[in-house]
Amino acid sequence: MALTMYKSPRLRTTSDIYIFALSVLDLMWSTCVMPMTTIALLTGKWNFSETVCEFQASGDYSVLYSSPVTMGLAAFNRYMRLVKSKHCHKVFSLKKSRMFLTVFWLLLAMYIIIVKSATWQRFEFLPDYALCATIFSTKRSALVYYCITIPVCFVIPSFIIIFSYLHVYNAIRQHNRDISPSFHNRTNQTRLAIQEIRISRALVFVTAVFVVCWIPTWVIALAKRLQPTLKLHRSWKLVPVFLPFLSSAINPFIYAGNNPTFRSEFKRLFCLSWNCNGTIRLKPKAMELI
């Protein structure tokens, strides 16, 4: 899906860049976390080096912290696009949107590196979760870490998401009241508004899936962190593993299901290498060799 958006100029708008960013995060999760965890579940042990363990944990936390922040930016973009449209291009030009994502992702990456370098924590394989995660050196360092991380990466983005989508919802309701029931009377501006509504709906669904899948994950993980003696069944311990996997697997279907432009571009890209009947399409040079 990220490849489709990268190769399709029609999907390089300021609205689509946040969907592209979220798809990149899903791709990072699928490549940095899922393979090693799947092998650990199948074999019952960690089969890789300590360096790979640190790589997996770093990718895990990068996606975990970047996803809510990116969703907050996407929600605020929707708010500016549909509610404050006159000022949207001043705040969310294509260049500025890329800059926002780059700056926030770099800051979060630096935060992870600084915390790791300050010996507040180390990364170890946890058999209960079948992945590498944080082990804090002291309870105080854990408390300081969560007091910084939870407000910055979850509370503030959640407030922005709720504020933005409430106003977007009201704007969409007003749009539905004003729109003409006749398709032939729709102007280009109205068609653009419909496209913006579809993008907003896709982002709302992605946010909802993230909340449903990640809130239980955080509740179980924090409960186990704050109460190490808490006994949980093995199935409950694997919830923080399977639900994020499910979130990443569902998101591409949400993007495609709510965006006809993406579906058409995906089919077009697919047919560059394959005919629609499923046979391989050879390039002219390859045909000459045959």
Q: The domain spanning residue 10 has which CATH number?
A: 1.20.1070.10
| DSSP three-state, residue 46 | coil
Which residues span the domain enclosing 239? 2-289
Sequential pLDDT tens for the chain (290 residues): 666 666 666 666 777 788 888 888 888 888 888 899 999 988 888 999 999 999 999 998 998 899 889 989 988 988 888 888 887 778 888 888 889 999 999 999 999 888 888 777 889 998 888 889 888 888 888 888 888 888 998 889 989 988 988 888 887 777 666 655 544 445 555 554 666 677 777 778 888 888 888 788 888 877 777 777 777 777 787 887 888 888 878 877 776 666 666 667 666 666 655 555 544 444 444 334 33
Nearest to 222 by CA among 134, 113, 94: 134
DSSP state for residue 279 in the 8-state scheme: P
226: phi then psi, degrees, rounded to nearest 5: -80, -25
For the chain, the domain total comes to 1
Confirm whether pTM is higher than 0.75.
yes
Q: Give the number of residues written for the chain.
A: 290
Which position has the token pair 């995906």?
266
| DSSP three-state, residue 190 | helix
